[in-house]
Chain A
Amino acid sequence: MNFGRLALPVLALALAPLLPGIINRTKAVIGGRDGQPLLQLYYDLAKLVRKGAVYSHTTSWVFRAGPVVGLVSAVAVLAVLPLGGTSAPAGFSGDLIFMAYMLGLMRFFTVIAALDTGSAFEGMGASREVQFSALAEPVLLMALAALSLAARGSGASLGGGLFSLSAIYSHLSISTWMRSGPALLLVAGALWVVFLAENSRIPFDDPNTHLELTMIHEVMVLDHSGPDFAMILYGASLKMWILGALLAGLLVPVRSGNIWIDTGACVFGLFVLAVLTGVVESVMARLRLTRVPQLLVSAGFLSTFALALIIWS
């Protein structure tokens, strides 16, 4: 076990809160404002952890357990998450399923914590969240299946390592892109949609809206405060890091074998991704809620089509 692998989760834990900062800064620059500092989320987290908390009479231990389980689920995913060509510390065959379902566990607890408040608005957010994620999950798994096939073509062993994220990403190189570029582009498109949808970004959800009726994720966590809210914000930024790393590892096929270069390239890719997200948020409006399933199903179409392309050509 080399030291670099063990450092991956630490890197994620340290840098994840930077992503929302970059997005907000990009939006501010495009909007012609100065904007918040890049490290705003770190300041917020530090302040929230030092605060007390307010709880509703209605809530129970489920409400208090939600943020904890959510955060730890995201941290557990970090154990199997590779960064570019650098393998994860605890990757195993089939860890892509584990990742998808751990994120599912995180969502499950966020949703029931929202329902615990008995608020109509939070119920509404929860209802939308489960609807959209039910469609996003097949997209994610199909995209990963397509990736695993594309990666295998470049000479990965047929043995146990085939379905681990680490094995897939360490075999995704320039030559993979040369061979099945169109399919990988389609997969990237699908993953991009999943990234935006699962992280509640425009065009699926507007994190900065001031109207509770139009929110999805933000409205679910209205009642959390203090350290609980800090855990939720931190967990959300980790989730963004996780899904972003899947996309960045695909789009930045730098596989030099040097752990510093590979990891650095992927982290750089993540930051570029955050900038892109900021650009999207600046130039697009939120979709009508009835159009959201359509976009997700389209993404499913993309990933399935990519899989078919890889299998049959």
Chain B
Amino acid sequence: MLIVLFAIGLLFLSGFLALSVGRNGGVANLLGGCGAFSGSLIGLVEAVEILASGRTEQIRWAWSVPYGSFLVRIDALSALFLIPIFILCAVCGLYGYGYMKSFCGCKNLGAYWFFFNGLAASMAMVAVAANGVLFLMSWEIMALCSFFLVTFEHEEGSVQRAGWIYLAATHIGTAFLLVLFLMLGHVAGNGSLDFNAFLGSHGKMGGYADVVFLLAVIGFGSKAGFVPFHIWLPEAHPAAPSPVSAVMSGVMLKTGIYGILRILTFLGPPHLWWGYLLLGIGLVSGILGVLMAIAQHDLKRLLAYHSVENVGIIALGLGLGILGVVWHLPVLAVLGFGGGLLHVINHALFKGLLFMGAGSVQHGAGTRQIDLLGGLIKRMPWTCVTFLIGAVAICGLPPLNGFVSEFLIYMGGFHGVGLARSAAAGAVLIIGLALIGGLAAACFTKAFGVVFLGEPRSPYGADAHEAGLSMRVAMLLLAAGCVGIGLFSPWVVKLMGHAVAESGAIPYEAVQGFLAPASSALLKVAVVSGCFLFVVLVLCLIRAKILSGRTSSSEGTWDCGYFRPTARMQYTASSFAQPVTAMFEAILRTRSHTPSFSDPRGAPVFFPDAALFESHTEDFFLKSVYAPLFMAVKRFALKFRFLQAGRVQFYILYIALTLFVLLIWCLR
């Protein structure tokens, strides 16, 4: 416990130090990066140890905040979320050191590192806070730090817009959480917002449980990126600097998942519709997320929508887990929660990796527009290899880590199909996961293929350069993590037992009993995958050997009779995605602007000018739900503009009046 607190302190401290030397960019960069790296690594050690042992530790310090106490507690569930937080923050500290160098001199790097390390520390605080007030304060610090990081390049209009959308979304979410904790405190009854007090109030919940769960899904779901609360993700992630997008998408979203799981432990036995709700949200988020991702042309926007998809997969797992608890089918519960929780870690690794890759591309080539890139494999070989590993992992393909967590959830689905009660849920889960998997493969063959392969489509692609050493090392570390979890999955799954037991309120021995068949299956997967890699290697050597003496010549690509294909004739990302977007046109509403080949009177033109085709897909929820809603709110609010007179006297009068009314209310 103390070590984790020390790590959090170190993160805060290094942030302040970096801020204090902010004028000197190089020093601030070094201080901040080292602080993030070392602080996170220190914390990681104890988090892993606590997850493995499954013990609970807590510390209470006096704190003079009403209803608050400085109560921090760390158990297996917290530790499980602390692990990806610390891993990703450490690696992003390393990556950020290289990435932010280019801003040295023109931006205040001290401020960047202050907020980055603050974000890391506050996320860790969220995971260990055991008091409502402390939790909300950490939550708010996390939101603010990430807001300032998103608006790091605030000179650009699009970044400002993204920042505002994010700020509004996160605060609306927090408002729900405030009500949630007050309600929990009300039920617990003794005026304390300590989590320990909530834990003992199962019996008194009654009808409150449903309301609290709904509040949690909305409040935490807006942070996690559940559809329809996801609209801030595709705005904020592209706007932020890449290490920040990596941390936000990889682990900050997961604090929302953590919140839901933590609240579940307070509510006692779950209700049936909670499971169905999460399953439904997971399905919709997963499919809509990946479809929207396919339709995007901006690499980081694409990745942001993929986060929605992966959060959907996690929600599928949790929903299945809750259903398992409700129906007293522990095997569903264990596989659902286990798969969902493992996907939390896995997604942190590969999504962090992919965002870093996107950052390197932006850094090296100067643009994130997929259709302007191409052929980067020759100029950025390291980024290309690591991005490929991340892409294979996120598609859930063996032998990497994405397969392991999806495998667990699938197994839960197959077990579910076998029982009449859970058959529908299981079938929906399997269909959904399979469709998501297939579409994700479509999306990442597009992203990887168009960005890294072929010929450069514009000067951006042609003049790219490889990322610096620290960035490459960071990406290699995460890629190694993806491969490692894939090949050592049986042991990783065993390690998660305590966290699964805690989230499903199932005895630890039972959890291990149900995880054992899964982990023995995973052992076979690992063995076959190991052999697979070995045979690939051997076959590569054989191939090289038999080709070594032969004439192998190098020509232009065969393009079916054209003399020499040009780079502009290549398939672009838009054309690659077109069949899929056309198939799901009813959902995506992709609009394309086709050039007109007729003159204004409608007669055909036989020698048309240069023409341009483009298509774009707007977010349905942003455009058709939130925009009209907020416009209506704005119109309503404008009616009260007369109150804003601009004179101090009036404002003092308002305050006095408010106090007066409150006094009357109390004495009534």
Q: Which residues of A does B touch, CB under 8 Å?
A: 49, 51-62, 64-65, 68-69, 71-73, 75-76, 79-80, 90, 92-95, 97-98, 100-102, 104-105, 107-108, 111-112, 115-124, 126-128, 130-131, 133-138, 140-142, 145, 148-149, 152, 158-160, 162-163, 212, 222-223, 226-228, 231, 293, 300, 304, 307, 311-312
Contacts and interface: CB of A to CB of B under 8 A. Distances in A.
A133 to B, nearest CB: 6
Contact of B453 (A92, A112, A120): A112
Given A133-B441, A160-B517, A116 B454 contact: yes
B445 A108 contact: yes
Given A123-B575, A130-B445, A212-B560, A293 B395 contact: no
Interface stretch (B36-44, B524-532, B639-647): B524-532
A112 B528 contact: no
Interface residues of B, number: 82
Chain B, interface SS category: helix
B491 interface: no
Contacts of B427: 142, 145, 304, 307
B520 interface: yes
Interface stretch (B432-440, B476-484, B625-633): B432-440
A301 B407 CA distance: 24
Contacts of A64: 543
Nearest to A106: B397
A118 B532 contact: no
A131 B583 contact: yes
A234 to B, nearest CB: 11
B546 A227 contact: yes
A89 to B, nearest CB: 10
B442 A134 contact: yes
A93 B396 CA distance: 18
A126 B434 contact: no
Interface stretch (B22-30, B245-253, B549-557): B549-557
Given A60-B453, A223-B558, A123 B571 contact: yes
Contacts of B580: 130-131, 134
A256 B447 CA distance: 50
A309 B567 CA distance: 53
A223 B556 CA distance: 10
Given A116-B453, A127-B576, A52 B551 contact: yes
B605 interface: no
Contacts of B388: 62, 112
Interface in B518-570: 518, 520-521, 524-525, 527-529, 531-532, 535-536, 539-540, 543, 546-547, 550-560, 565, 567, 569-570
Interface string B393-414: 0011110000100110011001
Interface of B: 374-375, 377-378, 388, 392, 395-398, 403, 406-407, 410-411, 414, 417-418, 420, 423, 426-427, 430-431, 434-435, 437-439, 441-442, 444-446, 448-450, 452-455, 517-518, 520-521, 524-525, 527-529, 531-532, 535-536, 539-540, 543, 546-547, 550-560, 565, 567, 569-571, 575-580, 583
A247 B263 CA distance: 47
Contacts of B446: 130
A41 to B, nearest CB: 19
26 contacts: A49-B546, A52-B553, A55-B553, A55-B555, A60-B377, A62-B377, A68-B536, A68-B543, A73-B532, A90-B524, A94-B521, A98-B398, A98-B525, A98-B528, A112-B453, A115-B449, A116-B377, A135-B438, A138-B435, A138-B438, A141-B410, A149-B417, A212-B560, A307-B423, A307-B427, A311-B423
Nearest to A138: B434
A97 B522 CA distance: 12
B550 A52 contact: yes
A261 to B, nearest CB: 28
Nearest to A146: B417
Contacts, number: 257
B441 A62 contact: no
Contacts of B567: 118
Contacts of A62: 377, 388, 452-453
Nearest to A79: B528
Given A92-B525, A137-B434, A97 B410 contact: yes
Contact of B583 (A126, A137, A293, A312): A293
Nearest to A211: B560
A56 B560 CA distance: 14
B546 A108 contact: no
Nearest to B553: A54
Nearest to B445: A111
Given A69-B536, A131-B580, A108 B398 contact: no
Contacts of A311: 417, 420, 423
Nearest to B582: A290
Given A56-B558, A58-B557, A123-B575, A105 B445 contact: no
B576 A304 contact: no
Given A49-B546, A62-B453, A226-B547, A134 B395 contact: no
Contacts of A158: 418
A58 B378 CA distance: 9
A117 B565 CA distance: 11
A45 B540 CA distance: 17
A219 B529 CA distance: 30
Contacts of B406: 97
Contact of A72 (B438, B518, B532): B532
A115 B571 contact: yes
A57 B555 CA distance: 6
Given A56-B556, A116-B377, A123-B576, 15 more contacts: A55-B552, A57-B556, A58-B375, A62-B452, A64-B543, A97-B411, A101-B398, A118-B557, A123-B449, A127-B579, A131-B580, A134-B438, A137-B437, A149-B417, A227-B547
B435 A118 contact: no
A163 B378 CA distance: 44
A79 B547 CA distance: 28
Contacts of A119: 557-559, 565, 570
A142 B571 contact: no
Contact of B397 (A105, A111, A117, A140): A105
Contacts of B565: 118-120
Contacts of A115: 445, 449-450, 453-454, 571
Counting chain A CB atoms within 10 Å of each CB, which of B388, B452, B521, B577 scores highest?
B521
A120 B397 contact: no
B517 to A, nearest CB: 5
Contacts of A293: 583
B392 to A, nearest CB: 7
B430 A145 contact: yes
A130 B531 CA distance: 27
